[in-house]
């Protein structure tokens, strides 16, 4: 809680896979260090050295985490699978107020009051975003109030609820 390291927030991992179950991350910060490195993943920054790795997050909450670059709560270059989790009031200066990742798969999650320049709740650089039974409420961004992605990212939403997400004028 209340972590402010020079590079990443509460957790940095490079294993083959990472599981986070029944955890709360509150007010963690990923700041850009003096060496101009860091600023990704206020609570979790995951960069594996293995090609087909993934993060599993389940029954976890992220509250008021922030990143100087991307992924206010979570930043990953890998696939991320999130189930039954809450993301509230997280922020990133650049992309993905709550989550910044390659492929994203969400089930039964709640995103509210998250903020970034692109993708108020989440941003994916590909290849896909798959979302089901998830609520997006009061998220803000200059591009993609709730969800944004890079070129050629496929988005699939089923049984989702979008309410009062805002795209701010540039």
pLDDT at residue 67 tops 50: yes
Integer angstrom CA distances of residue 99 from 38, 82, 88: 16, 10, 11
pLDDT at 86 over 60: yes
Q: What is the pTM of this model?
A: 0.89
- Name the residue among 164, 56, 41, 167 with its Cα closest to residue 109: 56
Is a pLDDT exceeding 70 seen at residue 4?
Answer: no
**pLDDT band at residue 49, thresholds of 50, 70 and 90?**
low
Rounded distance, CA 75 to CA 21, Å?
A: 17
Does residue 80 carry a pLDDT above 90? yes
């Amino acid at each position: 809680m209340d972590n402010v390291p020079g590079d990443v927030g509460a957790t940095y991992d490079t294993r083959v896979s990472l599981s986070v179950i029944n955890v709360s991350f509150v007010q963690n910060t990923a700041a850009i260090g003096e060496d101009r490195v860091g600023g990704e993943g206020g609570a979790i920054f995951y960069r594996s050295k293995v090609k087909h790795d993934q993060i599993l997050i389940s029954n976890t909450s992220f509250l008021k985490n922030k990143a100087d670059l991307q992924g206010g709560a979570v930043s990953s270059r890998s696939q991320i699978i999130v189930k039954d989790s809450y993301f509230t009031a997280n922020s990133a200066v650049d992309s993905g107020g709550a989550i910044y990742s390659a492929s994203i798969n969400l089930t039964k999650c709640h995103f509210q009051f998250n903020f970034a320049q692109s993708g108020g709740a989440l941003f994916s650089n590909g290849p896909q975003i798959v979302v089901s039974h998830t609520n997006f409420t009061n998220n803000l961004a200059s591009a993609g109030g709730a969800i944004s992605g890079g070129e050629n990212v496929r988005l699939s939403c089923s049984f989702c609820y979008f309410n009062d997400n805002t795209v701010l004028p540039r």
